[in-house]
Amino acid sequence: MGLLFLLLWIWYTLTNNYFTLQSPHLSEGSVLVFKVVETLLLVTMSGVLLYAGYWFDTNDLSRTQELWGAIWTIIGSIGIVAVVLVVNAHQMIDGIIVTPQSLAEEILLGGAGGGIAGLLIGMETSRSMAQANRLSDQRNAFEFLNRLLRHNLLNALTVIHGKAKRLADDAPDQYHSDIQAIQDRSESISDLTTQIRNFADVLSGEAELEQIDLAESLRGEVATARSSFPTATFEVSIPDTVYARGHPALSGVFDNLLSNAVKHHDRDDPHITVSVDDSEETVEVRIADDGPGVEASEKARLFQLEGNGDHGMGLFLVKTIVDYCGGTVRVSDNEPRGAVFTVHFPK
């Protein structure tokens, strides 16, 4: 298109004595300056379109992306030429004389300028498509590695668990506690792989939300926390059943919040309170501790991926999963001391 506009302009200037045209309103010098500026403008726009062709050819774009760049460039050019024709038609209807020379110049200039405008849209469209393709490839690679890791890990854990069970049948009594610890740890890691799969589904954006019994999930995580932290006291107030819109990855949310409440405690006997408020439209889960609390300066960035102090990236995953489920999570001060993590879920 750039070469086409450039050749048309050369042909037009040669066949119409372009630089010798006179104007009844301007001096010859002014007319010459205008013609030079007009020529430079069209040559520049044609050069931009030529370079755009080189850019599309040398960048790693698919044929579809290149095609969209071309389509938008053509649409922009045709659109501006159509506007030029409509405006000149109105002028002729109103009795204003429009010379063929001025109409031709406006069409060429408008076509080249419109082509550049469409080109910019086409380049952005192509970039967006390329980025979407890259993200899709990365997501597929991530999913493949996730499945590969879980497959190999679960196979290894099955072997470990089976061997440990076999040893337990014949081993002396003094080894039973160690063997039981191996079995418990292998089951714990197996559960962890399930959590990783749930996290991966949410992070990839492919997780489907469903009605989750939060009470059952929360009770299970509290039981796990009690066995993992025997010195901590867990006071629980949870209904028999309470359903909300969510995903199985929410069990990892509760596990992280309960673990943090104990791990970041500054006493030997942490006291954790877990309660659920089931209202008409939302479910509120509160996990409160009597530890050192969270500094006011840290609350604003507590759930960010970077700069969240000693809490690691666990709270970033907490917020990501809760947000995905349409809920909210916040931290506040407990009285007389400690922190309260409150999570709201839509019914």
Q: What is the pLDDT of residues 36-55, one digit of tens each?
A: 888 999 999 999 999 988 88
* Euclidean distance between CA atoms 47 and 125, whole angstroms: 21
Helix axes 2-15, 100-170, angle to 10 degrees: 170
* Class in CATH terms, 210-346: alpha beta
pLDDT beyond 80 at 209:
yes
Confidence (pTM): 0.53
Tell me, what's the pLDDT at 142?
66
Q: What is the pLDDT of residues 268-290, one digit of tens each?
A: 899 999 999 999 889 999 999 99
Q: Please tell me the total number of residues recorded for the chain in this structure.
A: 347
Mean pLDDT, rounded, for 101-111? 89
pLDDT beyond 80 at 160:
yes
Nearest to 213 by CA among 184, 242, 249, 256: 242
What does the domain layout of the chain look like in residue ranges?
1-206, 210-346
Mean pLDDT, rounded, for 31-37? 83
pLDDT beyond 90 at 254:
yes
* Euclidean distance between CA atoms 282 and 89, whole angstroms: 62
- At residue 77 the predicted structure's pLDDT band, cuts being 50, 70 and 90, is very high
